[in-house]
Amino acid sequence: MTGEARPPALHARLLSLPPIGRAFEASSEAAHATEFADRDIQAYEVYGFRPVETQRLFWYRWIAGHQISFVLWRAMCDVVSRHPDGVPAERELDVLAACVDGYSAMLLYSSTVPREHYHAYTRVRMALQHPSFSGTWAPDYRPIRRLFRGRFPWQSDPSCAGLGEAIARNGVTHDHIADHLVPDGRSLLQRSAGAPGVSVSREKEDLYDNFFLTVRRPISHAELVAQLDSRIADIAADLAHHGLYPAVDGHHHPVVTTGSGVMDPLVAGALRVLDRAARLVSQLRLEDVRP
């Protein structure tokens, strides 16, 4: 065999997160010593040409992109909960904005699934899990929903302008990928009998966690960082091998092309944006935070 790189494993893995409202466990100094790996950000092609195992690749991307988003949401929740009243410090606002952009990068990464494939497989599996399966059930999003809505009083402070811009970019990104994958604009929740706005039961949150291979158990902040780190290494290997938009059945399926506004930096820079967020999260010491 000459030069053809082996495809990455693409195994979705179980993610452990603390129960909502529960602080991180204390961790040993040894665990801190193994915090975030120093790595070069690998470049990747936007348009890939290598053969793709379609089912495996896009299932993997859907799960990994969501899991990384959950970790970023959890990190954001811990920063926000430190400041029930006042404005977070500049460094913390940077962490929040970087996490929001990292989440936007994961929206793009997850939604690189070709539309037909999304409707034939991904969406069918979510609808089988529950007919009104919805992002509104995401347990880790609940505590920071107010942040995404700009409802914390401190968010009007001028120092929060950068965070506000990241949140606006995130809104554009979510709307764009939703329109791209579901052009008729109706989510599973809206299609089913359940109307948006109904409160989310514990059972629905568990169904959501369960779908995305997420278990709740006490973990330390160092374990959170380690899980983020290993997932970034995995998606870096995926992107290096397949590109952001792989050719499926001879065609590329771009979600957004370069030169198209606020999502532009994410197309070639998804990994860099994510890595920056992860690096800032790893520098936080949150074991002492009580939500």
| Smallest separation, CB 1 to ligand HEM (Å) | 36
Binding mask 123-142 for ligand HEM (x = CB under 6 A): -----------xxx-x--x-
Question: How many residues sit close enough to ligand HEM to count as binding (CB under 6 A)?
Answer: 20
Which window, 74-82, 182-190, 238-246, 270-278, contacts ligand HEM (CB under 6 A)?
182-190
What is the DSSP code (8-state) at residue 257?
-
Residue 182 as a binder of ligand HEM (CB under 6 A): the answer is: yes
Distance between CA atoms of residues 132 and 124, nearest Å: 11
Residue 196 as a binder of ligand HEM (CB under 6 A): the answer is: yes
Distance between CA atoms of residues 42 and 204, nearest Å: 38
Task: Please say whether the beta carbons of 258 and 264 come within 8 A.
Answer: yes
Give the sign of the dihedral formed by CA 175, CA 178, CA 184, CA 186.
negative
- Residue 32 phi/psi, 5-degree rounding, is -60, -35
Please give the residues from 162 up to 181 whose contact with ligand HEM meets the rule CB under 6 A.
174, 177-178, 181
Binding mask 230-259 for ligand HEM (x = CB under 6 A): ------------------------------
- Residue 251 phi/psi, 5-degree rounding, is -130, 145
**237: helix, strand or coil:** helix
**Going by C-beta distance under 8 Å and a sequence separation of 6 or more, which residues neighbour residue 183?**
115
Chain residue whose CB lies nearest ligand HEM: 135
Residue 52 as a binder of ligand HEM (CB under 6 A): the answer is: no
Please give the residues from 63 up to 122 whose contact with ligand HEM meets the rule CB under 6 A.
66, 69, 107, 110-111
Whose CA is closest to 286, among 232, 207, 225, 205?
225
User: Applying CB under 6 A, which residues contact ligand HEM?
Assistant: 66, 69, 107, 110-111, 134-136, 138, 141, 145, 174, 177-178, 181-182, 187, 189-190, 196
